[in-house]
Every structure is written in C-alpha cells, then in structure tokens.
Structure 1
C-alpha cells in the first residue's frame, strides 16, 4: 500500500521542482527508498538534501495532523497543521540555513497540502490504496 506520505511527498516534489531543483522528484524517490534504512539527520545542512527534507516534512505533517485530529473534534484546519509543522522545524533547527523564509514556507505549505490531499483521496470510498 502506498501511504499518504509517499503520495504527498512525490506530488510536492513535482510542484516544487524548478530550474534550480530539476532533480527534486528523483531526490524524493531516493529519500523515500532510504527512509528507515539509516538514521535521519537532525539538520539538513544544504539544499542537496532537499528531497530528504521534503520526506521528513511530509512525515512530520502526517504525525502532527493525526495528533491534532485525535485531540479534537475532527480534522484540524490545514493552516493549523502548517503552523505546527513550521514551528517544530524552526524550533528543532531542522531547516537548511540557505533557505530563506519565503522558500521555507513554500516548501512546508506545499508538502503539507499534498500529504493531506493524498490522505483525503485515500479516505474516499472506492479509491485504490
């Protein structure tokens, strides 16, 4: 079964790929493949590890979303999930210094959106898993 994290991070990589990061979808595939095979870095020191960062953001988004959902009455608004993910990444100093605030926010928002969209599609009746 393909998870919402896998589907979402692949979709985020497609959306975030640009002339500066044309290989981002491949980087995300490599990070997904390696996920769990080795310890994750505590900090992503350069933009070369952007694929790994996106997978980590997707995983964190899924964890935060489910945690907030289990505490409240239903699914939290996306903005709340985005804020929690962004705050945690900043607090843990887990973002590359080369990322400016606007690019950092764009990566977080796109990745959270895609993971939650993938989860919603999987929850729809009759959707393949």
Structure 2
C-alpha cells in the first residue's frame, strides 16, 4: 500500500498555475487532472493516459523546482529563477513533450515559486 502525502502549498499553487496557463493548449480538464495527480498516491507511469501524464509532469516539475528552490535557499535567501529553471531542466526526466512544452511548464512553475514565496 502506498502512503499518500499532501504536497506543499507552493507546489500545488505552481502546478495549478501551470495547468491554468496551459489549458488553452491542452484542454480545460488539465486543472482537474493536475489536482488528481497532486492528491493521488503514486501510480506506475505506464498506465496513464496522455492528459494524466501531462498533469503528472506538471506536478513533478513543480515538486522538483520547489525542492531545488529550498536547497538553494540554504546559501542564498532569494535564489535566481534562472538558476532554479536550469537545474530543473537538467534534473527533470525528459518526457514525450516537445522541448518547448517542457520548457514552458518549467518556466511557469519556477516563476510561481519564486514570485510567491
């Protein structure tokens, strides 16, 4: 049985902001899919449908960016967004999205995290 943990509010806010900004391109259901991915226990990646995979990627990007942000704050109280985005791009596994879509997701979640903390 998989234990469920509630995401940090900054992760949820960044992921939902990305879903809202990408909904025009990926459909209005994206926000609902992101909410489901945020609050669902871990699932094996192979059984997701495309919108769910996108939602899961958004949550992963937000979680990773938040973790990087918190790590960088140990030496700098206000880390640069470019540094967080670069590390997130390097550490986030490449998915089936094209690089522009992936980059857009990363930029959105990093901006939300750095602007709202």
Normalization by structure 1: what TM-score?
A: 0.73
SS of match in other structure, 1:18: helix
Tell me the distance in 1 between the aligned counterparts of 2:26 and 2:107.
Answer: 19
Shift of 1:19: 4.2
**1:5–1:58 contact (8 Å) kept in structure 2:** yes
When the two structures are aligned, how many residues end up with a matched partner?
110
Q: Cα distance 1:3–1:56, how it changes in 2: closer, same or farther (>3 A)?
A: same
The answer to which structure, 1 or 2, has the higher relative contact order (CA under 8 A, 6+ apart) is 1
Tell me the distance in 2 between the aligned counterparts of 1:6 and 1:31.
Answer: 10
Q: Cα distance 1:69–1:26, how it changes in 2: closer, same or farther (>3 A)?
A: same
In structure 1, the gaps of 5 or more residues are 121-129
In structure 2, the gaps of 5 or more residues are 1-5
**Cα-to-partner distance string for 1:60-90 (whole Å, 9 max, x where unaligned):** 01100010111x232210010000000111x
SS of match in other structure, 1:59: helix
Shift of 1:16: 1.4
Aligned-pair Cα RMSD in Å = 2.5
Range with greater deviation from structure 2 (60-69 or 99-108): 99-108
Could you tell me which of 29, 36, 52 is aligned with 1:30?
Answer: 36
Match status 1:75 vs 2:78: yes
Q: Could you list the structure 1 runs, at least 4 aligned residues long, displaced by more than 4 angstroms after superposition.
A: none
- Between structures 1 and 2, the one with greater helix share: 2
SS of match in other structure, 1:75: coil
Shift of 1:4: 0.9
Normalization by structure 2: what TM-score?
A: 0.80
Tell me the distance in 2 between the aligned counterparts of 1:21 and 1:60.
Answer: 24
Tell me the distance in 2 between the aligned counterparts of 1:102 and 1:10.
Answer: 19
Counterpart residue number, 1:96: 95
Tell me the distance in 2 between the aligned counterparts of 1:112 and 1:61.
Answer: 6
